[in-house]
Chains A and B, each alone.
Chain A
Amino acid sequence: MMKKFLIFSLMALVLASVLAACSNSDQASGEDSDGDSDVTTLRMTWWGSQSRHDQTQEIIKAFEEENPDIKIESEFTGFDGYFEKMAAQASGNNLPDIMQQNFGEYLNQYADKELLADLTPFVEDGSIDVEGVSDTIMESGKKNGKLLGIPTGTNALTAFYNKDMLDEAGVDVSDGQWTWEDYEEYTTAISEATGEYGARLMEPKNLFEYYLREQGKTLFNEDGTALGYEDDQLLVDYFERNLELEEKGAIPNYDTIQQIKGVEDELIVRGEAAFDFRWSNQATALDSAAGDKPIGMTLLPGENNSQGMYLKPAMLWSISENSEHKEEAARFIDFFVNNIEVYKIGGSDRGVPIKEEIRSELSADLSETDQKVFDYIELVTENSSPIDSNFPPESSEILAELTKIDELVMYGELSAEEGAEQFRSTVERIMSR
């Protein structure tokens, strides 16, 4: 009896999991599975944290209420795995109608393969209303003369800091006037005063690029065919600063970083690090996870930080070339850009709204976090220079290599010099393929 029951329940389990797998793939492939001819079903994908998932679904609900003829099926994940999933869908010619896209290497890659629809006609006939959005912002969605994405909002690199911990060490950076030497000094002082880390280990993908810009260089040359800097000492300096601070215990090593799963789990959120350099739109997620810890935002360190800082589209909304419902998809993007409800629900999670009217209309009843982000973006607008967009299609691999080498250096398996050298030779190898 016992055995039979076990076998039976096991079979049921297997059957259930098979069925679950089937229904999943149904969802992934079904574009018009509902027979209704008057309701268009759109597929939409994004990456993000839990708070973004919740907000976006609320935004979709608001959109569907206003547009009863459109139904949106959403698929969402964290950033890890998102572009892998999209690549698989792209190869199956099955990209979603509306896709959250990333500026830089990803947009360039998708542009290269002509996977995204040109949105220019929709903007021209007014179905996506971007009247009054500044040209520099719209420019970031363009590639090869085509408008491939509408920025969801503006974003900038930010030095997030825990005010209490800075006070404890008697440090103030709120005016954004601080150098790399100050950064070293402050993090050390904070870790000594509080017994926690002074800063999170810097994540090289964005921050080495910032460091290069601050030093007047770029990561890639103008036509995106080679590295944009000649002197490997720059990378050596970057590595050595981290090594030195790690040795003093002022910043953690990769073994700590590796345990962090998502923004909600970051060291600054748990009060275990005072500084954290990341994108400004993550303020919402950080603040909501940090509870009552006062989190401030300021410019990244460096004497020439206004040269290093730049405004970036937080992400872009794109319509895939294979979509059969481009017009309906455009209606959603228009809704997202122009409807104040979107920002009342989502705040600055996808960046600061690109439209002036929305910004001023919102400013009356902004949440504390959003007010902080709006102010910060304004500060960056005054203290920044234009973004670099010469990312070659291979850059995701190159940036992954940089992270790997950073890990090797931080684990002491390569010296800083060897790491810098290896990065250059690896990049040359990848680019020469």
Chain B
Amino acid sequence: MIPKKKEEIHETVEPQHPAKKPKKKKMKPVPPNKKLNTGNQNVTGYAFISPFLIGLFSLTLFPILYSLYLSFTDFDLMGTPNWIGLDNYQRMFTEDPTFWKSMKVTFFYAGVAVPIRLVFALLVALALNKVVEMVGLYRTLLYLPSVVGGSIAVSIMWRQLFGNDGAFNSILATLGLPTHSWLGDPDTAIWTLIVLYGWQFGSSMLIFLAGLRNIPKTFYEASSVDGAGPIRQFFIITIPLLTPVILFNTIMQVIQGFMAFTPSFVVTNGGPVNSTLLYVLYMYQRAFEYFDMGYASAMAWVMLVIIAIFTALIFKSSEHWVHYESDAK
């Protein structure tokens, strides 16, 4: 951007001295020189961002496009890929019950865990917004689970907590309640993962909190003069003014929910009986356990399309429920 601007400046500067032009005829080589200079500046600019550019092309764009190519091959990680057309996609949709199972699990997981996290994050943000003293401390404490949340360590801790002899069962036992094999029961295992996802509400919470801080106090004062209680205020002021932030958080969380991997890989490894086999985990299994990289690449592209559709739908629907201050004239 910056070099470009300079170019524009040069261009606009030159016509300002038309009168001097004839005099400077002999100095004609100057403008090309100038151009060379700007060229050099461009190079410098690109040189400065080259670490990013090299990363983008070699570590992001190239692998993405290569995986698209691989999705049409039978690549098995070790041999050379052979072109097999749409076979992988056909196999996925017509011959692979596990694929559909993982799809179902993932939709359930994302469908339940994302709203839970968003609601939870909003509630905590509202509470924090009311706290006057030591906000920083509370904010940090509540944000901590998200800092460490995606990590293997927390997943292992989760496995211990909900294991048969884990802390959760011991608490139940001391309270005289029946214990349960939370991770071993196909009906409950997925819920432990959902709770884990909900618990890591920190980043959405921070964004909500920032959004809440941006709502002018005067609105609340005015409405309370008109006799609106806190609940009414929440629905007619807070929620509408927060909708852009809600939109952002929803999109980010939906994407994250579909791409969740660590919890099911570490806590349950997809079991029992595939009840926690999230899509990305199944993709990993195909790629690295069954050496079915072509198929796994095809799965990745299907997921990309699904996420794209969901994001598009949310954006489309946002016209009806997101309220922007700027166009409310």
Point out residues on A near B: beta carbons under 8 Å. Answer: 2-3, 6, 10, 83-84, 87-88, 90-91, 109-110, 113, 115, 253-256, 258-259, 394, 396-397, 400, 404, 407-408, 411, 413, 429, 433
Contact = CB atoms under 8 A, between A and B. Distances in A.
Given A87-B78, A429-B95, A258 B290 contact: no
Given A400-B289, A408-B273, 14 more contacts: A84-B288, A90-B77, A113-B78, A253-B184, A255-B185, A256-B181, A258-B184, A258-B271, A259-B164, A259-B165, A397-B292, A413-B186, A413-B273, A429-B95
Given A87-B288, A91-B293, A109-B291, A259 B185 contact: no
A255 B95 CA distance: 29
Nearest to B295: A433
Q: 8 shortest A-B CB distances, which residue pairs?
A: A255-B184, A84-B288, A113-B78, A91-B77, A255-B181, A397-B290, A90-B78, A87-B77
Interface in B153-212: 163-165, 181, 183-186
Nearest to B265: A81
Interface string B261-305: 000000010011110000000000000111111000000000000
A113 B75 CA distance: 12
Given A87-B77, A259-B183, A407 B272 contact: yes
Nearest to A430: B290
B184 A254 contact: yes
Given A90-B77, A411-B272, A259 B291 contact: no
Nearest to B156: A261
B129 interface: no
A255 to B, nearest CB: 2
B264 to A, nearest CB: 13
Contacts of A83: 289
A259 B136 contact: no
Given A84-B289, A87-B77, A256 B184 contact: yes
A411 B273 contact: yes
B272 A255 contact: yes
Interface string B121-134: 00000000000000
A87 B291 CA distance: 7
Contacts, number: 70
Nearest to B75: A91
Contacts of B288: 84, 87-88
B79 interface: yes
Contacts of A84: 288-289
Nearest to B181: A255
A404 B274 contact: yes
A420 B272 CA distance: 19
B290 A396 contact: yes
Contacts of A113: 76, 78-79
B269 to A, nearest CB: 8
Interface in B69-92: 76-79, 91
B278 to A, nearest CB: 16
Interface residues of B, number: 29
A259 B184 contact: yes
A113 B181 CA distance: 43
B77 A407 contact: no
Interface of chain B, main secondary structure: loop
B273 A407 contact: yes
Given A88-B77, A255-B164, A2 B136 contact: yes
Contacts of B137: 2
Contact of A411 (B76, B136, B140, B186): B186
B147 interface: yes
Contacts of A404: 273-274
Contacts of B77: 87-88, 90-91
15 contacts: A2-B136, A2-B137, A87-B77, A90-B77, A113-B76, A253-B184, A254-B272, A255-B183, A258-B183, A258-B272, A259-B164, A400-B290, A407-B272, A411-B272, A411-B273
A366 B185 CA distance: 45
Interface string B91-104: 10001000000000
Tell me which of A83, A84, A394, A396 has the highest count of chain B C-beta atoms within 10 A of its own C-beta.
A84
A258 B271 CA distance: 8
Contacts of A258: 183-184, 268, 271-272
Contacts of B183: 255, 258-259
A408 to B, nearest CB: 5
A413 B183 CA distance: 17
A259 B163 contact: yes
A88 B260 CA distance: 21
Nearest to A432: B95
A3 B271 contact: no
A110 B77 CA distance: 11
Nearest to A253: B184
A258 B137 CA distance: 39
A411 B275 CA distance: 12
A91 B78 contact: yes
Contacts of B273: 404, 407-408, 411, 413
Contacts of A109: 291
Tell me which of B76, B78, B137, B147 has the highest count of chain A C-beta atoms within 10 A of its own C-beta.
B78
Nearest to A413: B273
Contacts of B186: 411, 413
A433 B169 CA distance: 45
B184 A3 contact: no
B188 to A, nearest CB: 10
Nearest to B289: A84
Nearest to B74: A433
Contacts of A88: 77, 288
Contacts of A429: 95
B63 to A, nearest CB: 13
A416 to B, nearest CB: 15
A258 B189 CA distance: 12
Tell me which of B181, B184, B292 has the highest count of chain A C-beta atoms within 10 A of its own C-beta.
B184
Nearest to B95: A429
